[in-house]
């Protein structure tokens, strides 16, 4: 970004990335979409994912027992990638 942003902005050391509240979204606004995905026939017949384990971790996450949002995010993306490419 040199020659595009002023140095006082570009070289700042106090910048921070934005972290989306996926852990909350997975329990609330995206819960039904995720349930639809993991209950779909494609997901249930996956030979790459441990469907039972993913469902268990999602249930623990929704109930607030543990925060599995990073793992769930990865499994969702693997499933969507598999659907697109295979």
Dihedral over alpha carbons 17, 21, 23, 29 (to 10 degrees): -150
Domain boundaries, the chain: 19-85
User: pLDDT tens digits, residue range 15-69?
Assistant: 788 889 999 999 999 999 999 999 999 999 998 899 999 999 999 999 999 999 9
Sequential DSSP letters for 42-64: HHHT-SSS-HHHHHHHHHHHHTT
Q: What is the pLDDT of residue 19?
A: 85
pTM: 0.76
Among candidate residues 76, 64, 78, 80, the one with its CA nearest the CA of residue 27: 64
Of 80, 71, 81, the closest CA to residue 37 belongs to 80
């Amino acid at each position: 970004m040199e020659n595009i942003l002023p140095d006082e902005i570009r070289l700042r050391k106090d910048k921070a990335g934005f972290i989306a509240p996926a852990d909350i979204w997975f329990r609330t606004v995206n819960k039904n979409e995720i349930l639809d995905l993991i209950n779909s026939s494609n997901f249930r017949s996956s030979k790459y994912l441990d469907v039972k384990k993913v469902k268990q971790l999602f249930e623990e996450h929704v109930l607030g027992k543990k925060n599995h949002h990073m793992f769930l995010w990865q499994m969702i993306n693997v499933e969507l990638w598999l659907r697109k490419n295979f």
